[in-house]
Structure 1
Amino acid sequence: MSTGGNGAPKRSKVEALKLESQYLKLPLIDEVNADGASVGEQAMQILKFHGSYQQDDRDTRVQLRREGQEPAYSFMVRVRIPGGRIDARQYLACDELSRAVGNETLRITTRQEFQLHGILKQDLKSTIRKVNETLLDTLAACGDVERNVLCCPAPVHDAVHAEMQEDCARLAAHFAPRSSSYWDIWLDGEKIDNPDAPRPQPALVPTAGDDAVEPLYGKTYMPRKFKTAFALPDDNCTDVYANDLGYIAVVEGGHVVGYNVVVGGGMGTTPSAKKTFPAVAVDLCYVPRPEALRVGEAVLKVQRDFGDRGDRKRARLKYVIYDWGIDAFKAKVEEYLGEPLTPPRDLPITEVDDHLGWHEQGDGNWFLGIPVENGRVKDEGDLRLASGLRAYFERFGSPARLTCLQSIILTDIPPDRKDEVNAWLEEYGIASAEETSTVRRWAMACPALPTCGLAVTESERVLPAVMGQFEEAMARLGLEEERYSVHMTGCPNGCARPYNCDIGLVGRGASKNPDGSPGPGTYTIFLGGRVQGDRLNVVYKDYVPLERIVDELVPVFTRFKVERGPGESFGDYCHRVGVEALAAEGAEA
């Protein structure tokens, strides 16, 4: 932990802002209603806890600066959706907001949420209120708190999936901030409550000095963001090892009897700061289902009390575990619990399902998983996904689920309406899972330019073209049915989880087009992770121009086709042979 000159722990600037905010209220409550297109730096930091980021259009930033104008400010609003469960009314409300006050698109995130982009400050308060009126909210979708809690979205009607979703909802409610600031600022003090939602409980692991307003978080909340996911050993569709806290279901007799708890995952890193790194979570314990929330609270409180509040680059839980070791961390969690933890069960992750295509639900109805490229719900050319989904929810009125691969699942479809739904897909030019290449089904990207202030390269806007190059190369090699994951980000922060997949493409540096205009950038290529998400990949090549990415990988796929073992995946092959050896051979070629 960082220390000051007198040996006392250092506190970052953001820590001071949180303390001065009086539980996330000041100065945001004054600036939200003030004139102007933006909020100040202090309010901008506090705004994140309420589920919104201030952004500007980086495509126009330089020109506006030359003209002496301020940036084209807007706001991203993130809708918190635990477990990715929404109903038709909620979808249609978000769609309406995207058209009325946004940029006419919805974006499905890698954490089962919706993002609305292009919201002007004058519309921010009414937008957040409208979200709450649907019994969703934006509270804690961003900021130094528990983020949206993930759970397998498959609408399978069995006890296992129902129990996992119940536990997900219970944990999300319990870990949500409890200060009234959110309702005071956005809803004029009125709390719009969902009567069916789980209620937060008193602190399950009482600690000395628990705060009366925020018993879990205190006045300065968490050192950095905290992420949690629920998964199954045979379906890690939530990428559980990329989270600070993960629950892997232990199933006996058709019920969840408990969970293997894993801790310390996180993707963000800063290449120039060697003290930072991505990490996959490690085993902590086994916990019976009734005690799962209590153990999770203890883990959260240890991170709250011992995470680095002086250096935000090293403030995630993974660094506490790295510095202490898992045994010391486990001992501290046991100290908070007041009892020993049980060793984890032998329960490796074996598979991942993207839940796309038609599937029986188990109650006589069907669900349909629809691929949404990079999560962007839009109308563009012959594709009319935004208008198509609007028509679907207006016509059918059934619920849906959002996936961590940025796609959408339409649920509760009666068998006698399957033909009608298939005709709807064709009418609006929406590609089915069967019409989507394998590599596109398992690819995803962060938004990056032009809205993200951290992006150094393109991501979402260029990945579709890169996928086209992959499709052509795989067809030539006869590997078009091969499943491997490609995750692209516009910077090293890892929002699209590029460090534990088969092929990670991470924005490295800016580039220029021949005419001198900004180019799409250069990338670091990582290889050797895998779809299951339980292993980090490593650097294959650095500073690769966008147009060279697939060409640099074709020799590796060519070797893979000849040298792979029976049933061996691309990521496992790269790991077995050694990415450094593959890179060395590529350099000699």
Structure 2
Amino acid sequence: MTARINPKPLNELAVNGSAVEHIKDRSNYLRGNLVEDFQNPITGAISEDHVQLVKFHGSYMQDDRDVRLHRQDKKLEPAYSFMIRLRVAGGDLSADQWVKLDDISNRYGNGTSRITTRQALQFHGIIKFDMKNTIQAMDAALLDSIAGCGDVNRNVMCTPDPTLSRLHAEVFPWAQKISDHLLPRSRAYHEIWLDEAEGKTLVAGGEVEEIEPLYGKHYLPRKFKIAIAIPPFNDMDVYANDIGLIAVEESGKLAGFNVAVGGGLGFTFGRDDTYARLASVIGFCRPEQVLDVCFHTVAIQRDYGNRQDRKLSRFKYTLDRHGLDWFRQELNTRLGFALGKARAFEFETTGDRFGWRSTTDDLWHLGLRLEYGRVLDNDSHRLKSALRHIAEQNLCSFRMTGNQNLILTGVREDNIDAVENILHEHGYAADTSHLSGLRRNSIACVALNTCPQAMAEAERYLPNLISKLEVSLDKYGLCHDEIKIRMTGCPNGCGRSVLGEIGLIGKSPGRYHLYLGASFNGDRLNTLYRENLDETAILTTLDALFAAYAAQRRDAETFGDFVIRQGYISNQQAR
């Protein structure tokens, strides 16, 4: 049984707490007046307070920025819509769920769905008056969007191949266990969207049960992220998380997890007190201890995180403000035991594996490369239709990866040809050998036209930029070399751009800061190399770097290591 820790009073919340803290304070555990606001027929938007509150229900309000100025000229309000993000621990979906989610994207969304960099699935373009129908359709698929966003623990990630080995099979269920253990307990979601009657639960003695035994009335200062990785693959970018759990194998079994804390990639341009940080490994815990370790780490952030300045409220700043030694002592005190010494491990890559692989249960799975997680039909292929056809025939299950790709799992050997034929008939090539290594390893956030934070394009632009970069790669014989490029439309880190060997972060329309020097296995950040580059400058700069890499690299030297060894970026800068 996990020990209960009573939340400490918020530090001068009434006077100095951020606006979002006050919204949470008066929300009645995430209810607010969301019911009335979503029924208001006068506008397609909701109030500013509820824009913050609805995040806890897994949704962001957005508008189509492509038409914003045109609508403004016409004296029309922006073209508001909502994005809804599912909570899918470990990215695991059945064939039946895939079909039902595809129906949602067609009926209520913009006809596409998108795999996120946290192994979740999100829908875009849902209008306000379809929100309740959408969430009820998700519920019919036995899925929800609780804690998809907001100041709570988000979707728990895990290496998505539990059938690859006995160890994988042991590790994978922990993602769901941790997700369930840290889930908000408020029934606001069920009352507002699923028509559950409002009521109070009584415990022995007639007392009203505490609504949020972990989060309290004010939840966390900011979002919180947890991921599990199984060496030698760091396909979850485990160091980018507030808690990173690294599976340790002994004698073919799961011995436990190395625990890393304090990762976070977002920062703010113009504020030197904000920064990206990789998680620090602080010790080892046994499997039966991991729920308590996660619970109490979240509770420490709840109690000590900055609630005045949201730019400084992530767990990484709490750790750096108080120190790792302080955190270890505080965690050990709450746990009632000390973490063990971290065990040896080694990561090789953060990338996904594509193509067919046999599994321990005598079945097969197929790793598919998706362009930035977008599931759609377009002029070049009809992947969305192909995946629906495969799901309708119940040929496999589906697992989403942390790199925005998809694995078709549980395929019987006699169904391999059927899966391949469906993909081929819909114009989709499962074989990735025709793609450059740069394209296979690329990640992009949504950015424009829907993200309100975006300063520049990402998902819509990076494919074209890579096509132009491939001219240089081909010239220098580098097309098939695995080089990792990531692009985001702002510095918030959704596409993990600061962990790309080449990172491009949008500064303004058509202009990007260029970062270099991250490691191939995800244990080193990149650092700023050039500022405010347009496309011509990006192509010219990278062409020269590719030429040098082809001529001067050592055997098996990765691009990130090369730019540091050659002095383009210092190792000290690249932290």
Q: CA deviation at 1:343?
A: 2.3
**CA deviation map 1:367-407 (0-9, x unaligned):** 01111101111111031111111111112342110001111
Q: Which of 542, 565, 569 matches 1:576? A: 565
**How far 1:5 moved relative to its partner?**
12
Counterpart of 1:25 in structure 2: which amino acid?
A: R
Residue in 2 that maps onto 1:187: 194
Q: Is the 8 A contact 1:155 1:367 kept in 2?
A: no
User: 1:190 Cα deviation (Å)?
Assistant: 6.9
Larger deviation: 415-424 or 144-153? 415-424
Show the counterpart of 1:485: 484
Q: 1:329 to 1:581 in 2, by over 3 A?
A: closer
Find the partner of 1:279 among 277, 280, 293. 277
1:460 aligned residue? 459
Residue 414 of structure 1 aligns with which residue?
A: 412
The answer on whether the counterparts of 2:229 and 2:246 sit within 8 Å (CA) in structure 1 is: yes
Determine the C-alpha separation between the residues in 2 that align with 1:500 and 1:320: 22
Query: Counterpart of 1:113 in structure 2: which amino acid?
Result: A
CA distance in 1, matches of 2:286, 2:213: 24
Distance 1:155-1:469 versus aligned 2 partners, 3 A rule: farther
Offset from partner CA, 1:256-283 (integer Å, 9 cap, x none): 1110000011111002111100111111
Match of 1:381 among 379, 388, 398: 379
Deviation at 1:27, TM superposition (A): 2.0
Q: Give 1:31's aligned residue.
A: 37
Structure 1 counterpart SS, 2:16:
coil
Inter-partner Cα distance in structure 1 for 2:323 and 2:209: 29
Per the alignment, residue 6 of structure 2 pairs with none
Q: 1:212: which partner in 2?
A: 210
Shift of 1:216: 0.8
Q: Equivalents in 1 of 2:254, 2:274: separation in Å?
A: 36
After superposition, the C-alpha distances for 1:416-467 in whole angstroms (9 at most, x for unaligned) are 2222222222111112223332211110100101100010101110011011
Aligned residue for 1:344? 342
Residue 331 of structure 1, CA deviation = 1.4
Give distance in 2, aligned partners of 1:24 and 1:211: 17
Deviation larger for 381-390 or 443-452: 381-390
Give the secondary structure class of the aligned counterpart of 1:17.
helix
SS of the equivalent of 1:350 reads: coil
Q: TM-score, normalised by structure 1?
A: 0.91
Q: 1:211 and 1:508 mapped to 2: Cα distance?
A: 48
Name the structure 2 match of 1:69. 76
Question: How far apart, in 2, do the equivalents of 1:38 and 1:352 lie?
Answer: 39
Any residues of structure 2 matched to 1:26-425 within 5 Å, and which?
26-35=32-41, 36-189=43-196, 212-425=210-423
- Post-superposition offset of 1:28: 1.5
CA distance in 2, matches of 1:181, 1:28: 10
Residue 250 of structure 1 aligns to a residue in which SS? Answer: strand
Task: Please report how far the alpha carbon of residue 125 of structure 1 lies from its aligned counterpart in structure 2 after TM superposition.
Answer: 0.4
Task: Kindly report which structure 2 residues correspond to 1:527-542, keeping only aligned pairs within 5 A, or say none.
Answer: 527-542=516-531
- Give the conservation status (yes or no) of the 8 Å contact 1:27–1:42: no
Inter-partner Cα distance in structure 1 for 2:461 and 2:346: 35
Whether the 8 Å contact between 1:211 and 1:217 is mirrored in structure 2 is no
**What residue is the counterpart of 2:502 in the other structure?**
503
Displacement of 1:211: 8.6
Kept after mapping to 2: 8 A contact 1:538/1:579: no
SS of the residue 2:456 aligns to: coil
CA-to-aligned-CA distance 1:105-128 (integer Å, 9 cap, x gap): 111100111110000111000101
Tell me whether 157-166 or 385-394 shows the greater mean CA deviation.
157-166
Could you tell me how far apart the structure 2 residues matched to 1:23 and 1:581 are? 48
Where structure 2 has 5 or more consecutive residues not aligned to the other structure, the ranges are 1-9
Shift of 1:87: 0.4
CA distance in 2, matches of 1:562, 1:78: 45
Counterparts of 1:253 and 1:29, CA distance in 2 = 54
Contact 2:443 2:485 in 1 (8 A): yes
Aligned to 2:3: none
Task: Give, in angstroms, the shift of residue 509 of structure 1.
Answer: 1.6
Aligned length: 553
Shift of 1:575: 2.3
Using the alignment, how far apart are the partners of 2:299 and 2:12 within structure 1? 26
Instruction: List, as ranges, runs of 4+ consecutive aligned residues in structure 1 with deviation greater than 4 Å.
Output: 4-9
SS in 2 for 1:550: helix
SS at match of 1:473: helix
- Once the two structures are TM-superposed, the CA of residue 547 in structure 1 deviates from its matched residue by 4.0
Q: Residues 83 and 359 (structure 1 numbering): CA distance in 2 closer, same or farther, change over 3 Å?
A: same
CA contact under 8 A between 1:446 and 1:460: conserved in structure 2?
yes
SS of residue in 2 equivalent to 1:379 = coil
- 2:429 pairs, out of 431, 450, 457, with 431
- Give the conservation status (yes or no) of the 8 Å contact 2:349–2:522: no
Deviation of the 1:157 alpha carbon: 4.8
Q: Is the 8 A contact 1:371 1:431 kept in 2?
A: no
Give the drift of 1:353: 4.5
Stretch moving more, 487-496 or 24-33: 24-33
Q: Distance in 2 between matches of 1:473 and 1:505?
A: 18
Relative to structure 1, is the Cα distance of residues 548 and 429 closer, same or farther in structure 2, using a 3 angstrom cutoff? Answer: farther
Which amino acid is the alignment partner of residue 96 of structure 2?
R
For residues 566 and 382 of structure 1, do their structure 2 counterparts lie closer, same or farther at Cα, with a shift above 3 Å needed?
closer
Distance 1:40 1:319, change over 3 A: same
- 2:33 partner letter: P
Aligned to 1:15: 21
How far has the Cα of 1:6 moved from its partner?
8.4
Q: Deviations over 1:165-214 (max 9, x none)?
A: 111110000111001101000000179xxxxxxxxxx9xxxxxxx99111
**C-alpha deviations, 1:3-36, integer Å up to 9, x for none?**
x998998310000000100110012132122323
Matched residues in 2 for 1:287 and 1:468: separation?
Answer: 46
Aligned to 2:473: 474
Cα distance in 2 for residues equivalent to 1:509 and 1:439: 24
Deviation per CA, 1:332-351: give whole Å up to 9, x if none: 11122233222212323233
The residue type equivalent to 1:409 in the other structure is I
1:431/1:437 Cα in 2 relative to 1: closer, same or farther (>3 Å)?
farther
Note closer, same or farther for the CA distance 1:393–1:7 as it changes in structure 2 (3 Å cut).
Answer: closer
Q: Secondary structure at the match of 2:499?
A: coil
Aligned residues of 2:162 and 2:172 also touching (Cα < 8 A): no
CA distance in 2, matches of 1:5, 1:250: 39
Distance 1:219 1:14 in 2: 13
Alignment of 1:546-585 (within 5 A): 546-580=535-569
In the TM superposition, what is the alpha-carbon distance from 1:43 to its structure 2 partner? 1.0
Structure 1 unaligned residues grouped into runs of 5+: 192-201, 203-209, 511-520, 583-589
> Among the aligned pairs, what percent are the same residue?
40
Greater shift in the superposed pair: 88-97 or 544-553: 544-553
Structure 2 counterpart SS, 1:540: strand
Give the AA of the match of 1:154. Answer: D
